[in-house]
A and B are shown apart, each in its own frame.
Chain A
């Protein structure tokens, strides 16, 4: 295990050290101390590393992550794991706005709450939130799964494409073209798989599924109000 003190080496020091490791490195496990809310910690990682960050992080932690497993032992700021390609980002506390924004793959787990625009424009990432998500979550969500064990705020899934949303609690309101959908065996199986991966105890059958009504896929004047 290797330790890095952000207070001593700065964000640039952390990132350049981690970027210098080859894909097949033996030095897989790294602990980062004193993040103190700084931004862009452990961004652009491209190797199967295991990173523990001890404290709260600022914006874009784990941005564009590939292959690495990051655990944030605290809260995370805006854009956690934005555009993640693969790997895992695990937040023990809460995450701020735009968690998992435009994520292409991988798994983002937030044990606490996730604020507004969770999963905005998601493109294949799987997001599991133990608490609640704020307004405009899954806005323009194209692909992937967003699982919310708590409640969802206003305009859930506005302009959603093909992403799948599962919410256990209340949904304050649904966004344009987002509707509740039937839960079938394959959805329950997906949910079970992802809840297990996120080490959640909730039962798949407690969730409701939401997705695109597909009425905005090609413009029709009769739906002009939705725009």
Chain B
């Protein structure tokens, strides 16, 4: 069980303030999710030929330079690495499958948390305020950001079990609720070749989306298929390359609220997170209806 928050900027002038605007939103959701927190921020798009990876390692003093040089040598590609907390942003011209295979073989302790052209994912156990500080997000600029505060239900409190979960290039998923048929789905998805790092139900939902998208479905189609195949209670917030998508299950017991002004669109589990945004008092406010997929800013 958790808190989820998302902020998308319509007014480009606000881009430098994205991190600052988002901070009180995710901190307001601390009580809902005291175990761990995570964000996916969309910023600093890389060139077409490049891919950006978000990597993490439990050792805060991990030598990321080794990856930089090792990868360049192994794949004959260009790399840069930038360490932020115990995460690292790797930008490379290396092809994604090859990069992932090389990391698995040579640096098995490194977790690939996300990938794409603009997305960067940071997640860690602890209170959202601490997680935010650890990853220097207060000063972050970008176009949009998704966040999550976690109260673990039936799986352990670990970094790997935190949200957001990456579901494809520039895609991520955060979830509020509790699935009830994820264990069988996990087995089926394993047979399709998906890897799992946790017992977490949200990881299964993310893998399900990835599988659908790889099979050629649009994001809307994948979420609509999910309504049929995923059993349980959920509100999903999906981050996409240029916006986000929201969907609630048919029973809709997990609250969700949306708000919009000329400057931004926001989504949160509770309005009090949105109340911190400038102009919230006069924003258009509404609730997403169950089983309808809402999308902003484009599509995957």
In the complex, which residues 67-91 of chain B have their Cβ closer than 8 Å to any Cβ of chain A? none
Candidate in A37, A58, A77 with the most chain B CB atoms within 10 angstroms:
A37
Option from B252, B273, B275 in Cβ contact (under 8 Å) with A135 = B252
Contact B271 A77 (CB under 8 A): yes
- Contact partners of B252 in chain A: CB under 8 A: 97, 116, 134-135
CB distance from B148 to the nearest CB of A (A): 19
Option from B275, B287, B290 in Cβ contact (under 8 Å) with A56 = B275
Query: Is B285 engaged at the interface, CB distance under 8 Å to the other chain?
Result: yes
Contact B289 A134 (CB under 8 A): yes
Contact A56 B271 (CB under 8 A): yes
Chain B residue nearest in CB terms to A116: B252
CB distance from A135 to the nearest CB of B (A): 7
Contact B272 A75 (CB under 8 A): no
Say whether, besides A96-B255, A96-B257, A97-B255, A77 and B270 are in contact (CB < 8 Å). yes
In the complex, which residues 243-296 of chain B have their Cβ closer than 8 Å to any Cβ of chain A? 252-253, 255, 257, 270-276, 281, 285-287, 289-290
Contact A75 B255 (CB under 8 A): no
Q: Count the B residues whose beta carbon is within 8 Å of the partner chain — how many?
A: 17
Option from B253, B274, B289, B290 in Cβ contact (under 8 Å) with A37 = B274
- Contact partners of B285 in chain A: CB under 8 A: 56, 75, 93-94
Say whether, besides A78-B255, A116-B252, A135-B252, A36 and B287 are in contact (CB < 8 Å). no
Complex-state Cα separation, A36 to B281, whole angstroms: 8
The number of inter-chain residue pairs (CB within 8 angstroms) is 45
Say whether, besides A77-B255, A96-B255, A116-B252, A58 and B271 are in contact (CB < 8 Å). yes
CB distance from A171 to the nearest CB of B (A): 16
Classify chain A: how many residues form its interface, as a range.
10 to 19
Contact A37 B275 (CB under 8 A): yes
- Contact partners of A115 in chain B: CB under 8 A: 287
Chain A residue nearest in CB terms to B276: A36
Query: Is A187 engaged at the interface, CB distance under 8 Å to the other chain?
Result: no
Contact B275 A94 (CB under 8 A): no
Query: Is A38 engaged at the interface, CB distance under 8 Å to the other chain?
Result: yes
Complex-state Cα separation, A152 to B274, whole angstroms: 28
Contact B271 A37 (CB under 8 A): yes
CB distance from B66 to the nearest CB of A (A): 47
CB distance from A209 to the nearest CB of B (A): 26
Query: Is A39 engaged at the interface, CB distance under 8 Å to the other chain?
Result: yes
17 contacts between A and B (CB under 8 A): A36-B272, A36-B276, A37-B270, A55-B281, A56-B275, A58-B270, A58-B272, A75-B271, A75-B285, A77-B271, A94-B285, A96-B255, A97-B253, A97-B255, A116-B252, A116-B290, A135-B252
Chain B positions near chain A (C-beta within 8 angstroms): 252-253, 255, 257, 270-276, 281, 285-287, 289-290
Beyond the given A55-B281, A56-B275, A56-B285, could you list 8 further A-B residue pairs with CB under 8 A, ordered by the A residue number?
A: A37-B270, A58-B270, A59-B270, A75-B285, A96-B257, A134-B252, A135-B252, A135-B290
